[in-house]
Amino acid sequence: MNRMSMRPQHLLAASALACLALGAHAETGKLKLTGGVSTIDGAAGGGISPWALIGTQAAAGEWGASAFASQARTQDYKLNVAGAAFAWNNRVEVSYAQQSFDTGPTGVALGLPGLTLKQNITGVKVRLAGEAILDADTWMPQISIGALNKSLDAGGLKPTLTTLGAKTSGTDVYLSATKLFLGPGVLVNATLRSTNANQNGLLGFGSAREGGKRWMPEISIAKLLSPSLAIGIEYRKKPDNLNRILGPGVLAEQDWKDIFIAWVPHKQLSITAAYVDLGQIAPPFVAAKQTGWYLSAQAAF
């Protein structure tokens, strides 16, 4: 049985853990891992959702870098993600991620055994206002705007995507607000993403039925259990552009959810494990609901 594997920045847990591990200061003056971890798209955030936090350990007037690798598995798929990010002045972040998605039994059923979808994602994020850590004694969140440009190599699946009206490139634009409540040790993030990506872009962008972008909400909540351990949840609403193209529910796209636990053995290293629920990803000749586990590691400087 194939599973879904993702390499650096994936799911939700990695990022949340980083932001909540507040126990010590890095040499740069930033609190421990307050740059977050890498999402599956490469931006600093909670694994499946970007946050307003600027990645790496760079504080004001400094440059920083991070790199990640993740692996996630569900009943039928594998997704590997790897990437890196650079940041300056705790103000601007530039990121890159490469995704490799093994279609497993779906590729076999489509007559494309061994089909692997590959996606390159380049991102930029700019902090507009606030500071999630330094403003912890106020209600002002940190607010950032970002963009993620995605390019898909669909291999043998490209003719099918073309028939469905899905393009092989697109750009997500998002606005994030992140707030840390120091007293209870809780971090809350809300993101609005303008997107027409199908399954995050792995099945193209838009469709003959729904081609335009829509604003989708994403929410992350993390609780610090100790200076080096955090738990949390994430939720991401999906646009569901391909639904009804081949009949109701055949290509339905469901919202993503996860529960994670993150451990910070060192201020520059985070390790995250998560249980993920990705809903339906492909036609129902494979498991209708894709759930599984995720493991991610990130180093940030």
Average pLDDT, the chain: 86
Residue 181 has pLDDT above 80, yes or no: yes
> What mean pLDDT is predicted for residues 170-183?
94
Cα distances from 213 to residues 166, 210, 241, in angstroms, run 13, 8, 10
- Between 3-17, 22-36, 91-105, the lowest mean confidence (pLDDT) is in 3-17
pLDDT of residue 59: 86
Q: Is the dihedral of CA 139, 140, 142, 147 positive or negative?
A: positive
CB 177 within 8 A of CB 187: no
pLDDT of residue 285: 66
Q: Secondary structure of the chain: what % helix, strand, coil (to 5)?
A: 10, 50, 40
Measured distance CA(267)–CA(18) in Å, rounded: 9
3-state secondary structure 33-100: CCCCEECCCCCEECCCCECCCCCCCCCCCCEEEEEEEEEEEECCCEEEEEEEEEEECCCEEEEEEEEE
Q: Which helix (H) or strand (E) holds 298?
A: strand 290-300
Q: Which two tokens stand for residue 222?
A: 């993390």
Residue 28 has pLDDT above 60, yes or no: no
- Residue 10 pLDDT level (bands cut at 50, 70, 90): very low
> What mean pLDDT is predicted for residues 57-64?
89
| In the chain, where the domains are located | 13-300
Task: Give the pLDDT confidence of 264-289 residue by residue, as tens digits.
Answer: 888 789 888 899 999 988 776 677 78
Q: Which two tokens stand for residue 132?
A: 């999630």
Higher pLDDT, 38 or 144: 144
% of the chain surpassing 90 pLDDT: 61
pLDDT of residue 128: 98
CA angle at residue 297 from 72 to 4, to 5 degrees? 10
Q: Which two tokens stand for residue 111?
A: 């007559």
Measured distance CA(264)–CA(299) in Å, rounded: 10
pTM: 0.88
Task: Give the pLDDT confidence of 237-270 residue by residue, as tens digits.
Answer: 999 999 878 767 778 899 999 999 888 888 789 8
Measured distance CA(70)–CA(78) in Å, rounded: 11
CATH architecture for the domain at 13-300: Beta Barrel (2.40)
